[in-house]
Chain A
């Protein structure tokens, strides 16, 4: 299947995929969905092997030295690519907005961090805003609701892009929650450092999801998705949870997040 839109540049773009540690460990299909979407849009996709994590666990815990060392490693791993694309607004936001500030006292590294920042993108906004993808060829029968993950929304302006592409998915109907822009309570280490507050937040989010009437919840960040999927399952909710890239790449035949795989 290929994207129905034409890509502005005839030359395939050489794009590096930043897989993200959660996708690597918990949901590899999101990485493959991202590769498919990028290739359909005319990109050549590579996966630099030295990547691990963007460093947010250290950065947001106040461990600046570790965050810096990991950032330097990421900057090395993604040197030379036209674009670095992550299926996560949170990790892409870390590269695009927070890396340069880690090197305020090291001008050569700061310049490299700024260079990487300028090339770093969240997957769906890269498809829509940079590659001018207007539609996808995919089918998903049912009603979905879309949660705007915080970093993607507020750091990178990811809001309409996923909704625009979802409109082109056959059989899919989008229904909005009352407050799709309110945090789900994940917050990285926050959810285990302050589990009671996190629980109150994700319980409220779950009620909003249920109230939307959707049978499927989508978002662009696996951390948020695992948090919401885990809460919905604990509550016995029938709502299924998937990464938006899986639906856009027509890979929604897979078991949803936290569901058992079909017996073979």
Chain B
């Protein structure tokens, strides 16, 4: 999809002014984090499992070539095919060729963030192949021509009323002429419409939560069962996944599953956990006759072996954004590309360039709540700081920030000069702020005083001036 990450500040203004979005976000902020907290509390070994999950992913990343090749061998042995896609364009071409090879008119898709990353739907539509999103949230935003705003709850930015209007507009032609108001009725109507499409689809395309090297299986979790229809009914099943999804064994998958759902939604496990292991076998009652796995790199391998490698541990649970106060204020669309929230602030500069997405790792208070809930303990604030350092090195940091920093740094290196300057600032701020105790406006402090008052210091001088006056200052030992 076309990035608007460079226009982050404008996106933020729009998000903050959108009452529907703010209404939706106010619910998300409480719901997800509370359910995750309760789920973690119910499992005494949860913290130990997070360590184990981190270690599994670290091991897989340290031996990524080995496990990817092992996975490929296993898939081939089952009669399936692995396709390597170094870039997004390669992945689009491979998938389009596969679809055309069976004359596909429609593709039933279950939720896949990687398909958003490679802008697959637009590409298929341009080729006359209709992609049908079968995850309820994805289906809603497909109808509205919007990108997902959350990696596990793509339509979380919408209110129920907005969904009702969207369904009425798009389902009217199918004979559904009543505007629904109950959540269950909306779900039932979507199910009815989608069921028809499942049955007609020529190709099923799914993402994967994990690729298991030991067995050649792709593993997928959903709460709607839509993936199971996407991958069993059509005659061709295409799995689209990125390189870091591979893990060694089913045993490892079991550990990761235990932290995944709890971190994501607070469930002990998702409603459906499906393993796809090759195409339909002779004795199977159903399943696809062709099984393809498209594995995308798209710039990920270049962070292997660097300080940024930790970002590849991500298992896409969404906990970081559910707990992020910045995401909670602006929602996912403001981030401007596919992956929002803290993990988006780390991944996006890697995948589409820090020139385009430089605002994202800067728009964080480093409050650390994301890292504190990440099931695989990705040090998200540290990784954001790494991007800020890359930007500073390349002079991408805004000029005003650089100049301010240079001045401040010059003084901070010279304690005597600093004392004189801070003493002067303190006296002026105290003097002119004396009447009210705070400033409503102050030259050069507009960023602060636009939204809040600036407390003035009390009279009497800086701490160091007062301490010296009291004769307290002693020299260092």
Contact = CB atoms under 8 A, between A and B. Distances in A.
Interface string A4-22: 0000000000000001010
A101 to B, nearest CB: 8
B323 to A, nearest CB: 9
A46 B415 CA distance: 17
Interface in A21-67: 21, 23-29, 31-32, 46-53, 55, 57-64, 66
B435 interface: yes
Nearest to B477: A80
B28 to A, nearest CB: 13
Given A23-B463, A80-B476, A230 B366 contact: no
B452 A62 contact: no
B54 interface: no
A60 to B, nearest CB: 6
A154 interface: yes
Contacts of B413: 69-70, 73
- Top 4 nearest A-B pairs (CB, nearest first) are A187-B365, A192-B447, A62-B388, A62-B392
A66 B409 contact: yes
A237 to B, nearest CB: 11
Contact of B437 (A49, A53, A201, A259): A259
A262 to B, nearest CB: 10
B368 A151 contact: yes
Interface of A: 19, 21, 23-29, 31-32, 46-53, 55, 57-64, 66, 69-70, 73, 77, 79-81, 150-151, 154-155, 181-183, 185-202, 204, 226-227, 229-231, 233-234, 254-255, 257-261
Nearest to A226: B455
Binding site of A, secondary structure by majority: helix, strand, loop or mixed? helix
Size bracket of the B interface = 35 or more
Query: Among B411, B425, B462, which residue has the most Cβ atoms of chain A within 10 A?
Result: B462
Contact of B405 (A61, A154, A258): A61
A183 to B, nearest CB: 4
A70 B9 CA distance: 31
A61 B366 CA distance: 11
A192 B398 CA distance: 13
Contacts of A53: 412
A258 B437 contact: yes
B464 A181 contact: no
B176 interface: no
B339 to A, nearest CB: 18
Nearest to B13: A196
Given A196-B9, A196-B12, A230-B455, 15 more contacts: A25-B426, A28-B460, A28-B463, A49-B464, A49-B473, A58-B405, A61-B397, A69-B413, A70-B413, A150-B366, A154-B368, A196-B451, A200-B16, A201-B365, A227-B452
A101 B466 CA distance: 34
Contacts of A186: 365
A26 B330 CA distance: 31
Contacts of A77: 476
Contacts of B391: 62
B170 to A, nearest CB: 33
Given A49-B475, A183-B325, A197-B330, A150 B367 contact: yes
B436 interface: yes
B334 to A, nearest CB: 9
B415 A202 contact: no
B460 A187 contact: no
A233 B368 CA distance: 27
A185 to B, nearest CB: 7
B474 interface: yes
B59 interface: no
B454 A226 contact: yes
